[in-house]
Structure 1
Amino acid sequence: MAAMTPTTSPSVLVTGATGRIGRAVIDRLARAGVPVRALEHRPGTARNLPGNVSVVRGDLTVPETLDAALRGIRTVLLVWAAPPDTAGAVVARLAAHVRRVVLLSAPHRTDHPFFRQPNPAATLFAELERLIAATGLESTIVRPGMFASNALAWWGGAIRGDGVVRWPYGDAETAPVDDRDVAEVLARTLHEDGHAGGDYVLTGPESLSQAEQARIAGEAVGRPVRFEEMPPGEFRSQAPEAARPAADMLLAAWKATLGRPAYVTTTVAGLLGSPPRTFRRWATDHAAAFTGAPRRG
């Protein structure tokens, strides 16, 4: 694919450029007039990018491929989607080329039982944060909690089907954050001054049980939804073998938070100057994805 070359040299590199969050960040930076360089590790995967975005090859699992991508870059969005083996080498290369790293992490330091369960991903994020701090790089850590979009992956099939959501720990409360709010915060921290040293935990504006979220999703698409409690053991047994650690982590987190409201922050409002989107708004805006209808526009 022939990448378009912006008239101004890019100052921001976005890794994970073809993922849901990375691509949304690129679109927001491009609309703000920020020249962006998008990192792709497979040819042709970064498609239909805005005109002021250039594409460069690079792979987090092969750190030496990052040198060309990092030349002239001031700030990097690091979205880690690779095994942990090369984390140290990747961070060392960042330190050799750039001034600041914005890391998409998780709220593993937050003092709430939902976030304090053993979690392999949290272990990786903690190590990345340690490595970045050890280099002396300026950093901004962005820590979204549960994504609202999980509802589509988890319950979309049931809502499109018979309307019965079978799921464990229906009373467990979370504060789902809209992916768009996360992307907007990341974009701001990448191109605005004043975010060096920032450590931002992002949540939605309200604590909702999982059963309430399923009901709201149904209401947003005009379909009645009935929630049925699934035994935790059944949930785990249905998970593919490779997903068992994630299933165990979720089960432990949901169980630990029973009887407590979710952890809710005002960080999105403080950074963006407007309240975070509610889960109901997210569900309404994504109704077509729940029904299988084609999106308009």
Structure 2
Amino acid sequence: MRILVTGATGNVGRIVVERLLEAGAAVRALCRNPSQASLPQDVEVVEGDLSRPESLRQALVGVERMHLFPFAATASEVADLAEEAGVRRVVVMSSGAVTAGRDTGVHLPVERAVEASGMEWTHVRPGEFMLNKLWLWGPSIRAERVVRDPFPDLSWHPVHERDIADVATAALLEDGHQSAAYTVNGPEFISRRDQVRAIAEAIGQDVRLEVVTPAQAREMYLAQGGFAAANAGFLTGFEKYAREQAERSQAGKTEPVASGPVPTAEKVTGRPARTFGDWVRDHAEDFA
């Protein structure tokens, strides 16, 4: 069975590749720059780009299942090409924003395009990535052992990237996941303040938490660049959803809006979902 993994060099895609190889699957990885992919030697790396659907024709030959990274602009064309090539199952790397009705047009068009095809489909909808804290706080922790944040008591259930990959891999390899949309969160409702404490404990050094205003944080994130700059408005409450979260936190309403436990990877994998402490231990060197 040959499986095509798009987004194979991403934070989740690399782990999906790793898991599929462990399961004995034949893995083909779609990459814009194959020479820079740095994937295991057993992976067949092919050149292609979701923004240019025609570049996928050769990559899809002989493929039975596909892990699909979301690219809304060409989603219908990619789905048509996959179905035409004989792909029978597609697992979409989507977002929990779809479940919450807050998708910005990035993920929902991809889900709908795949659903409209004749292929089996499964959507994996992760919530907040634990990795976000590495991209956001990593530079200041490494340089100054400090985290500057405007909403230290804002809490949610961040998810480990390996749990996301495990769900996607199960949906690719196992039967019984067809026409399912899995929202994947972490097992703990944990504040940013407690996340900073967990990072300090993992690296064995004090990390100071400095509370700043949203405006100060926004300017800091814009100057930092990368993930922080791209999400500065959302992270600091200048965009609607984040503003609502921040207002709830400031009012002391820190419990999840939805009643009952949030869904985690355990529903699919049968194993307890990884905690924030697990994730920090996995990434301690990245912070240190």
TM-score normalised by the shorter chain: which range applies? 0.7 to 0.9
The Cα of 1:254 is off from its aligned counterpart by 3.8
Quick check: 1:218 aligned with 2:207? no
The Cα of 1:163 is off from its aligned counterpart by 2.3
Quick check: 1:260 aligned with 2:250? no
The Cα of 1:48 is off from its aligned counterpart by 4.2
* Secondary structure of the structure 2 residue equivalent to 1:195: coil
Q: Is the 8 Å Cα contact of residues 98 and 107 (structure 2) preserved in structure 1?
A: no
The Cα of 1:50 is off from its aligned counterpart by 4.3
Q: Is the 8 Å Cα contact of residues 15 and 38 (structure 1) preserved in structure 2?
A: yes
Quick check: 1:59 aligned with 2:44? no
Give the total of aligned pairs: 272
> Of residues 25, 32, 38 in structure 1, which corresponds to 2:23?
32
Identity of aligned residues (%): 39
**Unpaired runs of at least 5, structure 2:** none
TM-score, with length taken from structure 1: 0.84
Structure 1 Cα separation of the partners of residues 54 and 138 of structure 2: 40
> Of residues 66, 77, 93 in structure 2, which corresponds to 1:104?
93
* Secondary structure of the structure 1 residue equivalent to 2:36: coil
Structure 2 Cα separation of the partners of residues 151 and 50 of structure 1: 31
Structure 1 Cα separation of the partners of residues 158 and 264 of structure 2: 14
Label 1:248 to 1:283 Cα distance change in 2 as closer, same or farther (>3 A): same
Residue identity matched to 1:103: V
Quick check: 1:194 aligned with 2:176? yes
Residue identity matched to 1:206: E
1:48-127 equivalent positions in 2, closer than 5 A: 48-51=39-42, 53-80=43-70, 84-97=72-85, 98-111=87-100, 120=104, 123-127=105-109
> Of residues 283, 288, 291 in structure 1, which corresponds to 2:285?
288
Structure 1 Cα separation of the partners of residues 54 and 202 of structure 2: 47
* Secondary structure of the structure 1 residue equivalent to 2:97: coil
More off after superposition, 203-212 vs 257-266: 257-266
Label 1:91 to 1:48 Cα distance change in 2 as closer, same or farther (>3 A): closer
| Moved >3 Å (runs of 4+) | 240-245, 252-255
Q: Is the 8 Å Cα contact of residues 155 and 214 (structure 1) preserved in structure 2?
A: no
Residue equivalent to 1:148: 130
The Cα of 1:95 is off from its aligned counterpart by 2.5
Aligned CA RMSD, in angstroms, stands at 2.1
Structure 1 Cα separation of the partners of residues 205 and 130 of structure 2: 19
* Secondary structure of the structure 2 residue equivalent to 1:157: helix
Structure 1 Cα separation of the partners of residues 31 and 15 of structure 2: 15
Quick check: 1:206 aligned with 2:202? no
**Unpaired runs of at least 5, structure 1:** 1-9, 292-297
Structure 2 Cα separation of the partners of residues 194 and 206 of structure 1: 27
* Secondary structure of the structure 2 residue equivalent to 1:56: strand
Residue equivalent to 1:134: 116
Quick check: 1:169 aligned with 2:127? no
The Cα of 1:139 is off from its aligned counterpart by 0.9
Q: Is the 8 Å Cα contact of residues 159 and 218 (structure 1) preserved in structure 2?
A: no
Q: Is the 8 Å Cα contact of residues 139 and 197 (structure 1) preserved in structure 2?
A: yes
Structure 2 Cα separation of the partners of residues 184 and 159 of structure 1: 29
Structure 1 Cα separation of the partners of residues 282 and 73 of structure 2: 39
The Cα of 1:88 is off from its aligned counterpart by 2.6
For 1:124-179, what per-residue CA distance to the aligned partner results, in whole angstroms no more than 9, with x for missing partners? Answer: 21111122222233210001111111111111222223322111211111211111
* Secondary structure of the structure 2 residue equivalent to 1:141: strand
Label 1:109 to 1:43 Cα distance change in 2 as closer, same or farther (>3 A): closer
TM-score, with length taken from structure 2: 0.87
